[in-house]
Structure 1
Amino acid sequence: MTDLDTVNLIRLVALRALEAAPHLLKEWLPEGRANGREWVARNDVRGDRQPGSFGVSIDSGRWNDFADDRAHGGDLVSLLAYLHGCRQVEAAQKIDHRLNLGLFASRGADMQHLEQQKHAAESARLAANRRDQERLQQKHRDAANQAAKLWQMAKAADRQHAYLLAKQVPPFSLRQLSQGRLLIPLCSDGRLVNLQIINGHGTKRFLRGGRVQGCYSPLGRISDGCRLYICEGWATGATLHAHTGSPVVCAMNAGNLKPVAIAMRERYGQTIELVIAGDDDQETPGNPGRAAANRAANAADALVVFPEWPASAPVELSDFNDLHLWRNGRRETQS
């Protein structure tokens, strides 16, 4: 069998697997749940503690982890290969056996018939992708409209809000709803498209269906010749803005650093000095914060900085806000 035949079989298995997608996803990601036409689960490959950033389309098989820009694929074969750490041909054979498709067993069978099946399944996949895209765009529009309404009805954030006190940062331009819900704006090309909502206990959530990838929360005014910092979380950005006076855009997670950095470079060109202020996840295998920051810096021709830890600083600290809090706590202890 030629390499081309093998590729065609893998594609066909991926397309046929869509017919059993709900059952397969329950088996592969048993702790997940259906959210509309998407299966949302923890990503055990990178040790997720809770679901939220890892999702699989039940209709098209497309999957993505917004917290890791290397974790994405276009079908269920690539998903199983990712989850099992195997080659795609091995994943396709597992699915072929699980669903009793018999496609790999009939390697010498009529390839013309297989081609017909592949084209029919490919047409179904393209139609599912179009429906996925249309639903996603509608979700984005609905979330942006909801964000605008909530932002309009909210008031200026209370400086004594529990989250702001815990992070020792001012509210800057944040707003607040009833029951102490902080609103952090997420923008795209300067337009409000989503909100991160933080309650009094520090629990965070985005609006359902809202855009996150490539979006950012701005602090300060960006002007020609300025230094613009890009970081992960809002509290880290607020710390940087308060200490440097420079504008900051917060990408909200490590996987979004690279898309935001590229967007800032495309929007402002070389008129700004771009600096990625990365997290340093010292205790996490592979240090995902440092790795994501370096990838973003390389992609956007930017500088990169990390917290400089004193020798006595605990290793569980990871970002600039952690360093800020530790230094203040150490001063209070010594005073």
Structure 2
Amino acid sequence: MIDFERVNSAALSHMESLLPELLPGGRISGREYQCGDVTGGPGRSMSVNIETGKWSDFADTVKGGDPISLVAAVHGCEQGEAARWLESWLGIDTGNPTSRKEFEAMKAEAAKRRNDREAKERQGQQQAAAKARKRWEAAPPANPAHPHLAKKNINPHGTRQEGDKLLVPMRDEFGGIWALQTIGPDGGKLFSPAGCRTKGLYFSIGDKPQPGAPVCIVEGFATGAAIHEATGHPVACAMTAGNLEAVARIVKDKLPGHPVVVCGDDDRRDGTDKNPGIEAATKAALAVGGLLALPGMDIKSDFWDLLNERGADAVRAAVEKAVPAENQHGGQGEAPAEDQERGQEVGVDPAAMVQLLAGLSPVEYELKRKAAAEALGIRATALDRAVKEAKKGQGENDLPFDESDPWPVPVNPNHLLADITGTIQRFIVCSKEVAHTVVLWSAMTWFMDVVQVAPLAVITAPEKRCGKSQLLFLLGRLSARSITASSISPAALYRAIDAWSPTLLIDEADAFMKDNEELRGIINSGHTRDSAYVIRTVGDTFTPTKFNTWGAKAIAGIGHIADTLMDRAVILELRRKLPHESVDRLRYAEPNLFHNLRSRLARFAEDYSEKVRQARPPLPASLNDRAQDNWEPLLAIAMVAGGQWLEIGTSAALKLSGTESAAQTIGTELLADIQEIFEARDTDRISTADLIKALCEDDEKVWSTYNRGNPIKPRQLANKLKGYGISSNTIRLGITTPKGFMRDQFSEAFSRYLTPPPLPSATPPQPLTDGRLPVADAKQRCGNVADKNNDKLLFNRNCCGVADRNPLPKDNKVEVEI
């Protein structure tokens, strides 16, 4: 006879070893073990109390009170069999011990039953999905006067009606219908047909979001309608709290360039601190690095209640105040009580430690930060906040910028860079290559401690009103420790960099940097870490002092700035927007948009700095050596970010820096023109006089007005060529012997300083003889696609439209998939 109490008691003593074997992939947080679900799926819907054995899976709405019931649920067996499994696992002597062979047979049988159960469940779900689609296709559009819609004062949003019930389709990420939620006149809700799938399904409201705009995740249909009608944001309705995380992950994967805002229900319960709605919304937001918004009514409520009680402005304000989700134990990032106690147990005085750290330089603090946090038993981000407050008390908060706290949870770099891309394209008219380069350069400013080259970001345009200052301002909102330094003096420049290690943003460079050689020299010195310093004398004794000039710098100006700067830069060229192009104004950005992006970038740098330090990205061979240096740190970040970012970064490098014409100096321009003259004349020698005459024949080139409006002189030509080791000699031309040059004198200079012409294609294009257009001239077409099983426009399809065989009336909005 099995002693259930004894087995449960013994199991509770070994929960920390039992749970990882029984439910792999989880983690212990405080007194709970958190993992996917009871079937072994992904996520964090399952929690087990390691002290009491009580467990619950809110995704599948199952729970139990002891280890035996947990084993039975995982293995799909009876309680007695689960108890025998535990006896064998624990090695309990029952007088009739189970052999290892019998134990393995029990495990195999349990696995077979679980697989059979899952297969039967999938078959039932597919049959239910077929019934759901049939009912959906037969149903007419919902009547706006339906009692539930009228009571809630919301629009149908593409729902349909079957008798007196509303039908809300539950779709997967590809648009397929698997289930229906029926809503009766009294508001009663039911998933239908019986046995249908619900996890990972959702109903969407609204059109495809604008670049960088948020997408909201909610529980119920009425809540989603309320948020959409108040804010205009697209909404995905998960229908249950346990489904929020799965839907948030799907939406994040489908729309990586958009912030995800999980709008939770406040499901507070009297007499307890449990709040399933907020807990589920927090877990969903944490899972995707999203934001959390709550109604904030201090009573059990959701966003429909907020709309009904306080109006649309209150809903908009609550969504705009969405904040990064924090684990529920700490709310504002404090460590759990047991962690604080642990710091005291090892004899560390937290107050003294924080005061000591506040007196360190930024570099010294960074070196001691993690070890100090571990010694105190708190998270490093909590220590950052404490040190920041202590610095205020010491009068050291006079920095010209705000430090950004790292995001409270790890971020997905691929998603983060996509979000920033969407934000840039929302506010700036530019090519995709420029947008991607801005993303990688702004990310680089957070990795300055580990990269070895700091390319300038030069924002240029041919005319005013092309968005240069706007892009520079946006860079400042994304970069680490940014300060604007227009009209800065050389002394202020190197002292500011040495004191604060900022990201410098220099505007109107074409006006004040043109004749300032010293300023350009200081900026140039900061290109590589090894040479990033200047030496100046200081004080009455003129003591030579070394000033650090290492740091990221962005420069904006009209036209071409100094060649030495352009050569050390990635060039972000803008054009004035066309009448049909429109972007949002930066002042209309959501209040926390850039704060949250900076915080996520700070966490990216905190977690991935070592990987960026060690990254050795492949550099395009077609780039010259300096361009390869400039792009190496950006491509290292792209490589670490994963996804398609290395390919994206390489394409941007080839597009923006793949030609040397933009960085051609007056010397290389002279060499190129001389090479052109030798080739055009097909000669091996030329006199100085004939060379100058040939140079000045093209009015569009500089040589006819090089000498203050007059043609270039022989001495000026000689001085320019002297730098390349070329000087004129007496040559023979027929019966004359003038001063001139032989072509052989230029061979080495041509090879070293001029880009060789591209090789011709090995297979030249062949003319078509049947009257058809070449591929390059064929126009792309995209027609309408009729899909009898899907009556909505899918955001991730490339077709121009999807025709519904039963189109809805124009006065009823059609559901559009997110």
TM range (shorter): 0.5 to 0.7
Q: Counterparts of 1:91 and 1:131 in 2: how far apart (Å)?
A: 18
Instruction: Note if 1:147 corresponds to 2:132.
Output: yes
Confirm or deny that 1:292 pairs with 2:280: yes
Tell me which residue corresponds to 1:321: 304
Contact persistence 2:85–2:103 (CA under 8 A): no
Counterpart among 172, 178, 196 of residue 210 in structure 1 = 196
Contact 2:132 2:180 (C-alpha < 8 Å) held by counterparts:
yes
Task: Label 1:171 to 1:120 Cα distance change in 2 as closer, same or farther (>3 A).
Answer: same
- CA deviations on 1:205-227 (whole Å, 9 max, x unpaired) are 11111111111111012344331
Structure 1 segment 175-214 matched on structure 2, within 5 A:
175-178=160-163, 180-189=164-173, 190-207=175-192, 208-214=194-200
Identify the match of residue 291 of structure 2 among 287, 303, 326: 303
- SS of aligned partner of 1:156: coil
Distance of aligned partners of 1:287 and 1:177 in 2 relative to their CA distance in 1, 3 Å threshold: same
Distance 1:324 1:198 in 2: 20
Equivalent residue in structure 2 for 1:233, among 220, 223, 226: 220
Q: Secondary structure at the match of 1:150?
A: helix
Residue aligned with 1:151, SS: helix
**Pair 96,129 (structure 1): closer, same or farther in 2 beyond 3 Å:** closer
Which amino acid in 1 is paired with 2:166?
Answer: L
Residues in 2 aligned to 1:125 and 1:248: alpha-carbon distance in whole angstroms: 41
Q: What is the CA-CA distance between 1:247 and the residue it aligns to?
A: 0.5
- Give secondary structure in 2 for the equivalent of 1:155: coil
Contact 1:275–1:297 under 8 Å retained in 2: yes
- With over 3 angstroms needed to count, the CA separation of the structure-2 counterparts of 1:154 and 1:97, relative to structure 1, is closer
141, 149, 159: which is aligned to 1:156? 141
SS in 1 for 2:187: coil
> Structure 1 residues 264, 160: CA separation in 2 closer, same or farther (over 3 Å shift)?
same
Tell me if the contact between 1:148 and 1:192 (Cα under 8 Å) persists in the aligned partners: yes
Q: Which has the higher strand share?
A: 1
Long gaps (5+) in structure 2: 1-9, 23-37, 57-62, 73-78, 312-818
Per-residue displacement from partner, 1:64-88 (whole Å, max 9, x unpaired)? 9xxx92258xxxx9879x633x456
What amino acid is aligned across from residue 148 of structure 2 in structure 1?
Y
Taking the aligned partners of 2:255 and 2:39, their CA distance within structure 1 comes to 31
Deviations 1:169-213 (A, max 9, x none): 1111010012x1100111111221111011112211111111111
CA shift in 2, pair 1:252/1:90, >3 Å: closer
Provide the residue aligned with 1:253 in structure 2: 240
Give, in whole Å, the separation in 2 of the partners of 1:145 and 1:91.
34
Q: Greater relative contact order: 1 or 2 (C-alpha under 8 angstroms, separation 6 or more)?
A: 1
Residues 97/134 of structure 1: CA separation in 2 closer, same or farther (3 Å cut): closer
Matched AA of 1:127: K
Amino acid of the structure 2 residue aligned with 1:184? V
Q: In structure 2, do the counterparts of structure 1 residues 132 and 97 end up closer, same or farther at CA, with 3 Å as the change threshold?
A: closer
User: 5 Å matches for 1:1-335?
Assistant: 69-70=45-46, 83-84=64-65, 86=66, 107=93, 113-178=98-163, 180-189=164-173, 190-207=175-192, 208-223=194-209, 224-269=211-256, 271-283=257-269, 285=272, 286-309=274-297, 315-316=299-300, 318-327=301-310
Per the TM alignment, residue 296 of structure 1 is displaced from its structure 2 partner at its CA by: 0.8
Question: 2:147, 2:186 within 8 Å by CA — same for their partners in 1?
Answer: yes
Q: Secondary structure at the match of 2:46?
A: coil
**Within 2, Cα distance between the matches of 1:308 and 1:71?**
27
1 CA distance for matches of 2:70 and 2:195? 34
Greater Rg over alpha carbons, structure: 2
SS of the counterpart of 2:132? helix
What is the CA-CA distance between 1:327 and the residue it aligns to? 3.4
User: In 2, Cα distance between the equivalents of 1:255 and 1:97?
Assistant: 29
Determine helix, strand or coil for the equivalent of 2:269.
coil
The two structures, once aligned, show a CA RMSD in angstroms of 3.8
Distance 1:258 1:114, change over 3 A: same
Alpha-carbon separation, structure 1, partners of 2:70 and 2:285 = 35
Identity among equivalent positions (%) equals 29
Q: 1:32 — aligned with what?
A: none
Question: Residue 191 of structure 1 aligns to which amino acid in structure 2?
Answer: G
User: Compared with structure 1, are the counterparts of its residues 96 and 186 closer, same or farther at alpha carbon in structure 2 (3 Å cutoff)?
Assistant: closer
Compared CA separation, residues 287 and 106, structure 1 to 2 (3 A): closer
Q: Which residue is 1:40 aligned to? A: none
Relative to the length of structure 2, the TM-score reads 0.29
Contact kept, 8 Å, 1:96 with 1:103, in 2: the verdict is no
Structure 1, residues 106-156: CA drift from partner, whole Å, max 9, x if none?
618686x52121112112112111211111111111111111111100011
- Residue-pair matches, total: 257
The amino acid across from 1:169 in the alignment is: I
Structure 1: how far apart are the matches of 2:133 and 2:94?
A: 59
- Consecutive unaligned residues of structure 1, counting only runs of 5 or more, are 15-61, 329-335
